[in-house]
Amino acid sequence: MSIYDFKVTTIEGKETTLEAYKGKVLLIVNTASACGLTPHYKGLQALYDTYKDQGLVVLGFPSNQFAGQEPGTEEEIKQFCELNYQVTFPLFSKIDVKGENAHPLFVHLVDRTPSPYHTGEIEWNFVKFLVDRDGNVIKQFSARTEPEAIEADIKGLL
């Protein structure tokens, strides 16, 4: 199964697939609004602003699996991100990213990350997956990796 085949739901509630992002470099992130790492939104938006015209798309997937740090509704999450971090990159509905109810996209991302860039199960909010233009998972970055630290890897794929 290709990464582009996975069904996802936008934060506005529309079911779709990742097909619209075929040919783009993707940075896929599990996010949360009430986490110590929530300021990563600022760096993610900066990367998106800088490189979107060259083919980068950041995709944010809120998850409430880690200490209940994403308790809001989709509308609340969207408003929070827009008001506090001016997020314009695509956001999706809240999902599980690990465990028996993990969304198949995140199971795929973890399973397909090559060594030595595979950090294992998603340990917290803001784990980042870099996907090339062909849909291949290139690297998995830990939750604590600042978005700015990924810039050289992104530029290398653009």
Sign for the pseudo-dihedral over CA of 65, 66, 70, 71 = positive
Radius of gyration for the chain, computed over Cα atoms and rounded to the nearest angstrom: 14
Instruction: Determine which one of 35, 56, 81, 95 is catalytic.
Output: 35
- Judged on CB neighbours under 10 Å (0-12, 13-18, 19+), 52 is middle
Who contacts 18 (Cβ-Cβ below 8 Å, separation ≥6)?
Answer: 3, 4, 5, 6, 8, 26, 59, 105
Residues 99, 6: Cα–Cα separation, whole Å: 18
Alpha-carbon separation of residue 29 from 57, 61, 122, 144 (angstroms): 11, 6, 10, 12
Does residue 81 have an active-site annotation?
no
Residues 134, 143: Cα–Cα separation, whole Å: 24
Q: Which residues belong to the active site?
A: 35
